[in-house]
């Protein structure tokens, strides 16, 4: 019996006040849990000493100065593409295996300022390029649901380590990143809540970039309320990230809302080829539940969604080609053993440092960016990106539009590892990211909520999307759905 999966931030704080638990004892339990669940390979590194130091600080604030902060004694984990000073940050790549940042990502420094205790850095697909957490130099992360040493399911990705750390009870919340669904996809497959905030609401400073125009830090927790608590701590303008939204952030509040005033759209294009019958069924089930709560449901259309995955794939590869040019072996990271010429050093370093997926995206990106292809592919996809965003603008328009959209998150429950790796990375992502990447294309917020278990006893989840900065309404409706479906806790 794993009691840790039953805790919420509120319960832990209550227990600290009543001294049923103390920050040091609870962090110790969390660290033990990381050891018991080592087989799942959620962590790239467990920061045991750091966690203990942090928990002692929290304990002092709880019992000596009696001024605890919102996240004091709350165990958190960071995806290993967020910089943490003096703690290695690897991106699960040979290229950054020995990289130790000298500064903290804003998301991490804000969590620390609120008292959170770091228990470890989480596994991911190399440089967050994937949807399975299978392409990491530290090996794949395993889904805790129906886990069997010989026959296990993928965690989803690329923030698979963060999702598994939360699902298996090693921490109360974790930070992932979301470029095309990398937070929502593993959240969906591991049965936890995963939030992709509005682009620019949460600072990217210190998040090692994949696709600058789409990357956002994501939040994973076992319930909507904990996600909201973390969001309130990390969101808001940051002088170190010029792409954060300047408007001051108003902390969101959760309340029991009246759904009769909420209009929810069902975009018909989200029923795509290859979607499993079970996913369609739970989509209908939750639509029924919402209608019973008097929400106004209507069918809407986002015609360019079906082209979005191909557009996303081109833009992703173009930005990757440009972003990855910083890795040359001179200033940081891996340096190959060549001294004959600079270019030769660059080439061999990059050959040794990047896996096949990263290399092929760089090559494809540079192909689309060749002078002769620039307009044909790159500019074309930027135009299509506008059409995809305009679809959302229309559907959310204040006059006659809907407030939120309800769609599946993934096309099926978690695939078996050996079935998943039989496909190429591009096919894996094209299949897995279908429902999630349009939100990144448009920069809008989206949340994945676990709904029920499939016939394989694996989590099935749905997604809500809303217009920019609609996190408050979105999380309130998500909380309502959560209370109606009563998704089981992983024992």
> Residue 85, by phi and psi: left (phi above 0), alpha (psi -120 to 50) or beta?
beta
Point out the catalytic residue in the list 93, 131, 162, 182. Answer: 182
Contact flag: residue 322 with other proteins (CB under 8 A): no
Report the residue number, 2 or 213, with the smaller CB distance to other proteins: 213
Contact flag: residue 421 with other proteins (CB under 8 A): no
Binding span for other proteins by CB under 8 A among 72-80, 183-191, 312-320, 451-459: 312-320
- Six-digit token pair at 27? 């962090």
Q: Indicate the DSSP class of residue 331.
A: S
Q: What are the angstrom distances between the C-alpha of 35 and each of 3, 30, 42, 114, 459? A: 15, 9, 10, 26, 24
Question: Phi and psi (nearest 5°) for 113?
Answer: -60, -25
Report the residue number, 77 or 95, with the smaller CB distance to other proteins: 95
Q: What residues pair up with 195 in beta bridges, in sequence order?
A: 219, 447
Kindly tell me which residue out of 384, 404, 451, 490 binds other proteins, with binding defined by CB under 8 A: 384
Find the shortest distance in angstroms from Cβ 168 to other proteins: 32
**Chain centroid to CA 173:** 11
Q: x-or-dash pattern for other proteins, window 361-380, by CB under 8 A?
A: -xxx-xxx-x-----xx-xx
- Can you point out the beta strands (E) in 129-183? 173-178
Q: Which of residues 262-301 bind other proteins (CB under 8 A)?
A: 266, 268-275, 280-281, 283-285, 287-288, 291, 297-299
Give the residue carrying structure tokens 């973390």. 230
Q: Which of residues 438-457 bind other proteins (CB under 8 A)?
A: 442-443
Contact flag: residue 410 with other proteins (CB under 8 A): no
Strand 296-300 relative to strand 263-267, pairing: parallel
Binding span for other proteins by CB under 8 A among 58-66, 167-175, 254-262, 341-349: 341-349
Contact flag: residue 345 with other proteins (CB under 8 A): yes
Report the residue number, 250 or 344, with the smaller CB distance to other proteins: 344
Point out the catalytic residue in the list 55, 158, 168, 448. Answer: 158
Residues 100 and 81: their CA atoms lie apart, in Å, by 12
Find the shortest distance in angstroms from Cβ 202 to other proteins: 13
Q: Indicate the DSSP class of residue 80.
A: T
Find the shortest distance in angstroms from Cβ 438 to other proteins: 12
- With CB under 8 A, what is the number of residues at the site for other proteins? 95
Contact flag: residue 416 with other proteins (CB under 8 A): no
Residues 6+ away with beta carbon under 8 Å from 374 = 368
Strand 404-408 relative to strand 459-465, pairing: antiparallel
Number of residues written out for the chain: 491
Does the active-site annotation cover 203? no
Find the shortest distance in angstroms from Cβ 21 to other proteins: 37
Residues 439 and 443: their CA atoms lie apart, in Å, by 6
Number of Cβ atoms within 10 Å of the Cβ of 5: 19
Binding span for other proteins by CB under 8 A among 63-71, 144-152, 154-162, 344-352: 344-352
Does the active-site annotation cover 182? yes
Strand 446-453's sheet: what is its strand order? 43-46, 117-122, 75-79, 173-178, 216-221, 193-196, 446-453, 459-465, 404-408, 263-267, 296-300
Report the residue number, 222 or 350, with the smaller CB distance to other proteins: 350
Kindly tell me which residue out of 64, 341, 455, 491 binds other proteins, with binding defined by CB under 8 A: 341
Report the residue number, 385 or 479, with the smaller CB distance to other proteins: 385
Q: Indicate the DSSP class of residue 260.
A: G
Does the active-site annotation cover 79? yes
Find the shortest distance in angstroms from Cβ 234 to other proteins: 17
Find the shortest distance in angstroms from Cβ 316 to other proteins: 10
Contact flag: residue 423 with other proteins (CB under 8 A): no
- Can you point out the beta strands (E) in 211-262? 216-221
Find the shortest distance in angstroms from Cβ 216 to other proteins: 11
Point out the catalytic residue in the list 37, 79, 155, 308. Answer: 79
Kindly tell me which residue out of 311, 449, 465, 481 binds other proteins, with binding defined by CB under 8 A: 311
Q: Which of residues 209-268 bind other proteins (CB under 8 A)?
A: 213, 237, 239, 242-246, 266, 268
For CA atoms 272, 274, 279, 281, the dihedral sign is positive
Q: Which of residues 4-33 bind other proteins (CB under 8 A)?
A: none
Contact indicator for 422, 160 with CB cutoff of 8 Å: no
Report the residue number, 67 or 337, with the smaller CB distance to other proteins: 337
Give the residue carrying structure tokens 């001024």. 67
Report the residue number, 254 or 297, with the smaller CB distance to other proteins: 297
Cβ burial, residue 313 (10 Å; 0-12/13-18/19+): buried
- Six-digit token pair at 85? 């000073």
Q: Which of residues 69-108 bind other proteins (CB under 8 A)?
A: 98-100, 102
Report the residue number, 109 or 143, with the smaller CB distance to other proteins: 109
Number of Cβ atoms within 10 Å of the Cβ of 3: 11
Catalytic residues: 79, 158, 182
């Amino acid at each position: 019996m794993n009691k840790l999966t039953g805790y919420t931030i509120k319960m832990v704080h209550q227990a600290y006040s009543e001294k049923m638990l103390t920050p040091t004892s609870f962090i110790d339990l969390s660290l033990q849990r990381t050891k018991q669940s080592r087989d799942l390979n959620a962590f790239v590194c467990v920061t045991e000493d750091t966690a203990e130091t942090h928990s002692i600080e929290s304990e002092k604030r709880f019992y000596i100065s009696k001024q605890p902060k919102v996240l004091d004694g709350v165990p958190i984990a960071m995806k290993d593409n967020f910089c943490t000073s003096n703690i290695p940050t690897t991106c699960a790549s040979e290229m950054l295996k020995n990289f130790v940042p000298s500064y903290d990502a804003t998301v991490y420094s804000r969590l620390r300022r609120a008292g959170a205790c770091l228990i470890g850095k989480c596994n991911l697909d190399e440089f967050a390029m994937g949807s399975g957490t299978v392409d990491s130099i530290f090996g794949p992360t395993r889904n805790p649901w129906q886990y069997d040493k010989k026959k296990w399911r993928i965690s989803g990705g690329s923030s698979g380590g963060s999702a598994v750390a939360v699902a298996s009870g090693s921490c109360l919340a974790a930070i992932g990143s979301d470029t095309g669904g990398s937070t929502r996809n593993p959240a969906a497959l591991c049965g936890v809540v995963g939030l992709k905030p509005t682009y620019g609401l949460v600072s990217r400073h210190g998040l090692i970039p994949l696709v600058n125009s789409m990357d956002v830090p994501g939040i994973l927790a076992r319930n909507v309320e904990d996600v909201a608590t973390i969001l309130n701590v990390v969101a808001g303008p940051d002088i170190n990230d010029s792409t954060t939204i300047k408007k001051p952030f108003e902390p969101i509040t959760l309340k029991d809302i009246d759904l009769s005033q909420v209009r929810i759209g069902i975009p018909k294009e989200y029923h795509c080829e290859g979607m499993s019958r079970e996913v369609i069924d739970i989509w209908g089930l939750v639509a029924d539940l919402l209608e019973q709560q008097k929400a106004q449901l209507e069918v809407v259309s986002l015609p360019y969604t079906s082209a979005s995955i191909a557009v996303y794939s081109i833009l992703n590869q173009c930005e990757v080609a440009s972003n990855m040019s910083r890795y040359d072996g001179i200033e940081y990271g891996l340096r190959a053993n060549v001294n004959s010429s600079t270019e030769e050093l660059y080439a061999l370093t990059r050959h040794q440092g990047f896996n096949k997926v990263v290399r092929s995206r760089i090559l494809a990106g540079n192909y689309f960016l060749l002078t002769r292809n620039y307009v044909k592919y790159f500019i074309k996809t930027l135009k299509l990106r506008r059409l995809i965003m305009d679809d959302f603008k229309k559907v959310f328009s204040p006059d006659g539009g809907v407030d939120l959209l309800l769609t599946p998150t993934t096309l099926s429950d978690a695939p078996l590892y050996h079935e998943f790796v039989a496909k190429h990375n591009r096919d894996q992502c094209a299949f897995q990211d279908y429902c999630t990447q349009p939100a990144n294309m448009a920069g809008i917020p989206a949340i994945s909520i676990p709904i029920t278990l499939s016939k394989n006893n694996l989590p099935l989840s749905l997604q809500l999307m809303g217009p920019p900065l609609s996190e408050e309404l979105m999380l309130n409706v998500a909380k309502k759905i959560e209370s109606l479906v009563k998704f089981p806790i992983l024992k």
